[in-house]
C-alpha cells in the first residue's frame, strides 16, 4: 500500500458501526474506534451523535407534504415514499397509478385531492434531492 491513503483505501477498512462517522482530518487508532460506540471524532474528541431512525416502508401520507425550509420528522418518516415518487417520475409513470400504489389514494373518487397530494409530495421529494439531503447528512431533523 502506498504512503498516501485515498478514499478507496479507507473504503476497504471495515467499519466498527454504521453509527460511527469520522472527519477526514481526525486521527484515531482502529482499536480506539472500535471502543467508541456511536461516536464521532471532531478535533480528536469523541462526541455522541443521534442517528435517523429507520423509516417505515409504506407509511400513510398527509394531504400535503411539508413545505418547511428544513428537514422535518415527516420527511424522515417518508424518505422511502419520496424515493418511490422520484423513481416513478423518472419513468414517466401516470400520476394516478403512483397515487394509488405509492400514496394509497383513490384518484378515481378523489381526483383533486389525490392530484394535490401527489404533486405536493413529488415537489418535496425533489426538494430533498436539492436541499433536504444536506440536513440528513448533518444528522436529520433533530440535529
Domain boundaries, the chain: 7-48, 73-137
- End-to-end Cα spacing for the chain: 38
SS3 41: strand
Of residues 142, 143, 138, the one with CA closest to residue 21: 138
Of residues 99, 94, 98, the one with CA closest to residue 110: 99
Convert 3-18 into a string of H (helix), E (strand) and C (coil). Answer: CCCCHHHHHHCCCCCC
Q: What phi and psi values does residue 16 have, to the nearest 5 degrees?
A: -70, -35
Q: What global pTM score does this model have?
A: 0.61
Question: Could you read off the pLDDT of 44-78 as tens digits, one per residue?
Answer: 655 555 555 677 778 899 999 999 998 899 999 99
Question: Could you read off the pLDDT of 85-131 as tens digits, one per residue?
Answer: 999 999 999 999 999 999 999 999 999 999 999 999 999 999 999 98
Kind and range of the H or E run holding 48: strand 45-48
SS3 42: strand
Amino acid at each position: 500500500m502506498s504512503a498516501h491513503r485515498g478514499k478507496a483505501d479507507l473504503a476497504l477498512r471495515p467499519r466498527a458501526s454504521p453509527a460511527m462517522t469520522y472527519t477526514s482530518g481526525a486521527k484515531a487508532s482502529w482499536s480506539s474506534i472500535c471502543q467508541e460506540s456511536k461516536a464521532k471524532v471532531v478535533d480528536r474528541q469523541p462526541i455522541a451523535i443521534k442517528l435517523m431512525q429507520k423509516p417505515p416502508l409504506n407509511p400513510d401520507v398527509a394531504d400535503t407534504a411539508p413545505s418547511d425550509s428544513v428537514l422535518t420528522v415527516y420527511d424522515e418518516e417518508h424518505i422511502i415514499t419520496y424515493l418511490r415518487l422520484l423513481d416513478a417520475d423518472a419513468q414517466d409513470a401516470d400520476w394516478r397509478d403512483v397515487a394509488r400504489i405509492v400514496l394509497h389514494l383513490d384518484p378515481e373518487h378523489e381526483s383533486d385531492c389525490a392530484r394535490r397530494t401527489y404533486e405536493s409530495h413529488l415537489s418535496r421529494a425533489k426538494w430533498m434531492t436539492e436541499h433536504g439531503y444536506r440536513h440528513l447528512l448533518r444528522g436529520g431533523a433533530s440535529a
